Copies of this chain bind each other. A is one copy, B any other.
Amino acid sequence: MSRDADRLSIGDVARVTGLGVHALRFFEREELFLRPIPRTAGGQRAYDRADVEWLLLCNRLRESGMPIATLRRFAHLVRSGPGNEPERLALLEEHERAVRDRIADLTASLEIIHGKVVTYRRHVQDGTAAGVWSPSP
């Protein structure tokens, strides 16, 4: 498509968001958009820049572990217009907390794993092998 700079086909949107046409249709069924996506005369989806911006935010939220159900709740809040900002804020704060917790967990695991790597590295370089993996906490 891309005849009109602000009328993007599903393929265009897939390309710029990295989401895949199947995923985009799925997102629509799941009510994750901020509006009903309008259609061309022939029935094909016509997205605009704002849809893409929203999808990019969705990508961030999804990649950082927000479940579809929560994203849908957020989309519904935004869709229903001004007045529920405290709820949106609470939802985002909750997610921010979850992401921070996840990073902390990963960092803790990373230390353990890095410790194992260091040990193996030393033993591989030494040609020493026995007991390397012995599971010491």
Contact = CB atoms under 8 A, between A and B. Distances in A.
Interface residues of A, number: 46
B113 A99 contact: yes
Nearest to A100: B110
A93 interface: yes
A56 B103 contact: no
A130 B92 CA distance: 18
Interface in A118-137: 120-121, 123-124, 129-130, 132-133, 135-137
A135 B53 contact: yes
A9 B92 CA distance: 43
Contact of A85 (B50, B86, B88, B129): B129
A49 to B, nearest CB: 9
A136 B107 CA distance: 30
A102 interface: yes
18 contacts: A50-B135, A53-B136, A53-B137, A56-B135, A57-B116, A57-B135, A60-B112, A61-B113, A63-B105, A63-B109, A82-B132, A88-B120, A89-B120, A92-B120, A95-B113, A96-B113, A99-B110, A103-B110
